[in-house]
Amino acid sequence: MAEYAQNYKVLILTWLSLTLVTVTASHCVMAVTPSTPLLSFLERLQETAFETFAHSNFDPKTYVDMPLKSALTVTEDAFQKLPRNANGSVPVEDLKRFIEAYFEGAGDDLVYRDPQDFVPEPEGFLPKVNQPQVRAWALQVHSLWKNLSRKISGAVKAQPDLHTLLPLPGSVVIPGSRFREVYYWDSYWVIRGLLASKMHDTAKAIVTNLISLIDKYGFVLNGARAYYTNRSQPPLLSAMIYEIYNSTGDLELVKRSLPALLKEYEFWNSDIHKLTILDAQGCTHTLNRYYAKWDKPRPESSIMDKASASNFSSVSEKQQFYRELASAAESGWDFSTRWMRNPPNFTTLATTSVIPVDLNAFLLGMELNIALFAKVTGDNSTAERFLENSDLRKKAMDSIFWNANKKQWLDYWLSSTCEEVHVWKNEHQNQNVFASNFVPLWMKPFYSDTSLVSSVVESLKTSGLLRDAGVATSLTDSGQQWDFPNGWAPLQHMLVEGLLKSGLKEARLLAEEIAIRWVTTNYIVYKKTGVMHEKFDVEHCGEFGGGGEYVPQTGFGWSNGVVLAFLEEFGWPEDRNIEC
C-alpha cells in the first residue's frame, strides 16, 4: 500500500509538472514603466559627459540628479547646438559652460533643515553607555542627524518637470554623499537611530513621506526620484511603523498607515512578484521574488549598464539583463554573487529566478504587523486574515527554504520563470552561504522556537561569516559590494536582534559579540577618517568597505542608526576598551 501511495504521488507530481507548467503572459511578459522625456535627455547628457570628462571617479548619477534651470525643450535645443568632436564628445569647456548655464547642482533642490526635535544630548540618551570616549563619539553620531536632514525645495513642487527629485510632504533624512534623496529600506535603520536619539517627529515624517509614495504609485519606490518609479526595495514600512508605535503609542499613525500598507501588500503579491511552488510532499505554497518593471539601462547607471549589456548580441537578451539589474537593485543587494547563475560572472545575473529567503521573511513580518495594526484599530477580520497569511508563509518558508543539514534557510533557484506552478527540487536550493540565510531569525515565528534557534546559532558560528569586525555578507570575494569582505549595518542588526529576541543565553552572547565587533570597527574608522561609512571590511577591523560600481560613501544613515541601536541595547561599560 505504501509503495502504491508513493507511485501515486510521483504520478501526480509528474502530471502537475507537465500540465500546469503553462506559459502565460502574466508570467513571462511583464509591464514596463515608461521613461520620461526628461530622463531620456539626462541619460544622453550623462553619456556625453562621460565621453568628455571620462575619468576614474566619474559618477553617472550626478547627471540625472541635476535640476534644469529652463524648460526641457530650451535645454535640449541648446544641447543639440553644442560643438562636437569627431568621436561625438563635446569640448570640455563648452560642456562645462553649458552645464553651468542650464543646470543647478545635483542636490540643490534639497535644502538643509534644522530638525526641531534635535537636542545636543537628549534626556535618557543611551543610559548604558558609560565609557567616556564611546559616549562622546555616540553624541557625535547623534549630531549627524542634523547633517543628513533636508526638506524638498519649493521649486520641486512649483516646477516638477524640471526635476528628477520627487516632491514629498515632510522633512527627509538622506543616507549621505551621492544618495541625496530618501531611500526605502535605509529608512528603517535611520528610524531605529532616530528613536534612540528621541527624534520621534523626524521619524514619523519619514513614514509620512513613504506613505505618500504608496498613495501616488501604489508602492514605496526604491528612492524618491523619477528614475526609481520602476521598482521598490525590501518592504520594511510596516516594521518602521511598528517601531514608532512601540516607542510612542501613536495609534493615529497606525490608523493612517493601515490602508497604505494594505495597498503595498497587494503590490508585493501581484503577478510579477508572486510564485506558486509545489513542495516534495505535494503541497502548494505561495512565495515572492524581486521583479522590477524595467527592461532598459538604469538611468542613474546608464553608461555602466550598457557596457555590461554589450556582452549580449540580441535586443531581447539585453532587455532581460537590464531587468535583472534593476531587480537586483530592488533587492537592496546591488550587486552580489547571490543573484548570479555562474558567479562571479556579472552577466549571469538572474535575480528574477531567485526566490529570496529575506524578502519572504520581510513579507512575513509585514503580515504579522498588519495583523497587529488591524487588531489595535478594531478591524478583527483583517487581523485574522493576515494571521492566516503569516501562518501559510511560515509553512512555505519551512518547506521551500529550510535546509536541515546546513541548519540555514537557503534561497531557491527557479529552473524557468515562465511556469505557472514550480516543482520543488532539492538541488535548486542555493548551497552558498550568505548573511541573508539567517535573516528569518529576525521574525517572531522563528526566534520564538528555541530548539530551532539553537541549531541556527550553531550553524552561524561555523558558517565562516563571523569575522573580526562583524558578519560578512557572503564568503565570495567577487569585487561586488554585497559580497565578501564587506559587512553592512542592516545585516548585522537583523541577525543581532533576532538572536537577542530568542531569549537563549548562547544566542544573546553571540549577539553581543557581533554588536561589540561592529561598534568597535565603526568607532575606529570614524576616528581615522572623521566620518561614518556606508559599509565596512569585516575581515580587517578599522577598515571601511569597497567594491561595486561607485566609490565608498559616507554620512551614513543606516550605519549611524545601527550603532545607536546597538549602544542603546548593550551599552558600553566604563572598563571596556574600544580597540581593534
- Structural domain contains residue 95: yes
Q: Which three cell numbers stand for residue 362?
A: 520581510
Q: Which three cell numbers stand for residue 494?
A: 537583523
Residue 110 CB burial class (10 angstroms; 0-12, 13-18, ≥19) = buried
- Structural domain contains residue 96: yes
Question: Are the C-beta atoms of residues 472 and 484 closer than 8 Å to each other?
Answer: yes
- Structural domain contains residue 195: no
Q: Is 201 a residue of the active site?
A: no
Catalytic residue among 300, 534, 537, 543: 534
Cα 109 to Cα 156: distance, rounded to the nearest angstrom: 7
Sign of CA dihedral 533, 537, 540, 541: positive
Domain coverage including residue 93: 37-66+69-102
- Structural domain contains residue 89: yes
At residue 418, the pLDDT reads 82
Cα 391 to Cα 368: distance, rounded to the nearest angstrom: 9
Give how many domains the chain has, as a whole number. 1
Catalytic residue among 243, 264, 334, 543: 334
Question: Are the C-beta atoms of residues 503 and 450 closer than 8 Å to each other?
Answer: yes
Q: Which residues of the chain have pLDDT under 50?
A: 1-26
- Structural domain contains residue 315: no
- Could you tell me how far CA 529 lies from the centroid of its own chain? 26
Paired with 537 in beta bridges are: 486
Q: Is 334 a residue of the active site?
A: yes
At residue 28, the pLDDT reads 66
Q: How far is CA 70 from CA 90, 154, 232, in A?
A: 21, 16, 31
- Structural domain contains residue 76: yes
- Structural domain contains residue 535: no
At residue 88, the pLDDT reads 79
- Structural domain contains residue 274: no
Cα 389 to Cα 382: distance, rounded to the nearest angstrom: 10
Place of cell 529576525: 442
Cα 55 to Cα 85: distance, rounded to the nearest angstrom: 18
Place of cell 561595486: 548
